[in-house]
Amino acid sequence: MMKRKRIPFKKIKKLLDPDFINKFFNKRYRRYYKEAKGCRFLGIKKIKRFAGGKSISASYFLKLKIGKEEKIKIIDGRARQRLFTDENNPQRHYLVLKHLYTKNFSREVPRPLDYQKPYNLLLYEEVEGEALQQKLMRGEISFVLSFIPKIVFWLRKLHRENLLKGRLAALEGSNRILLRDKKVEAKEMRHALFLTKKFYPQGTLSVKKVVEKLNKLRRKKKNWFLEKENYALCHYDVHFGNFLTSDRQLKVIDFSDACFYDPLADLACFLVQTESMLEYYQRKKAKIILPRIKNQIINLYFKRQPERREIFRLKYFEIRRLVSMFTSLIFVEGEEKNKKLMLDDFKKKISLKFKQIEGTL
């Protein structure tokens, strides 16, 4: 079993030191911008540091001299103390961006610049645009929903990046794109149970029953699940917050959870997250428009009548996503009464999903 290695946080904190960063970029700017003849460091904007000081995100502002002009470049950086993690792994994030940038996705994803192993640091060019989630918060629901066809088209394009048998061995390993196999699936659910026990013990039994029922369904219909040789590249965090718009063009960010997996897990994520965000930001309209929107997403993705096994897998992955979302919410929520409301909503949605999945058997 691989030991969990950590970079000392003192080293990570250097990434917020202006003097250090000034020297850092003056040594490397020509590697990132070959046409540049000079670089002036302008400043740092710290974006966030996760609980426990495990990671740092920041934006770095540079003024580059390119020909007779001076251009401002914003470089985003993500660093994490822990190495060899399945989720939020800067090295894997860099590999995914690099892969996509050379595979006809350069207009839609951030330009990857570098991965610095001594700091477990990913650097990429900031993407211009505003998140669709921000527009949804302001009530621009028609504008947001008009992008659903583009989002689904982009997902279909991404999922054509198949995991071929001949490349399987080369893609496995701690420094490669994550292959979300049965072991990783099980680990994900164990983590969900851990979070529930720690932050809302009252919900442990409910989550445990859901996980056990999912495992039973997985065994019962194992022939309905894809073999890993047929997995595709998945974003695995598909929601309006990770889709940006600029001049009606769609941009996609945050590939920190990207992996090779069943593409229906991405579709399930988008369906569940869309329902959740519409209920949160547009509760009155959500009940009326959600059935139509869900059907639109499914029809655009499949472009045909889905098979029973596909509907089964889609509902299976929707339930897994609901488990992950519930445990993430109770982790950040401080009020017990709100956690109780979350648990009630979780149980209601899970019950409905299991009824839907039983209809496919």
Q: Are 296 and 148 in contact (CB under 8 A)?
A: yes
Q: 171 near 163, Cβ under 8 Å?
A: yes
Sheet order of strands, 55-66 included: 36-49, 55-66, 69-80, 121-125, 112-116
What residue type is 349 in one-letter code? K
Q: Which amino acid is at 217?
A: L
pLDDT digits (tens, 9 = 90+) for 28-87: 999 999 999 999 999 999 886 544 457 889 999 999 999 889 999 999 999 988 776 666
SS3 48: strand
* Fold topology of 9-125: Phosphorylase Kinase; domain 1 (3.30.200)
Return averaged pLDDT per consecutive 10 residues of the chain, 361 residues in all.
Answer: 69 93 95 94 81 77 93 95 75 91 91 95 95 96 96 96 54 67 92 95 97 96 93 95 93 93 97 96 91 97 96 97 96 92 96 93 85
Question: Domain limits of the chain?
Answer: 9-125, 130-358
Q: b or e along 155-165 (b: 16 or more beta carbons within 10 Å of the residue's beta carbon)?
A: bbebbebebee
Helix 308-332 / helix 204-220 crossing angle, nearest 10 deg? 160
Element (H, E) at 328: helix 308-332
Does domain 130-358 sit in CATH 3.90.1200.10?
A: yes
**Residues with Cβ within 8 Å of residue 88, at least 6 apart in sequence:** 55, 80, 256, 257
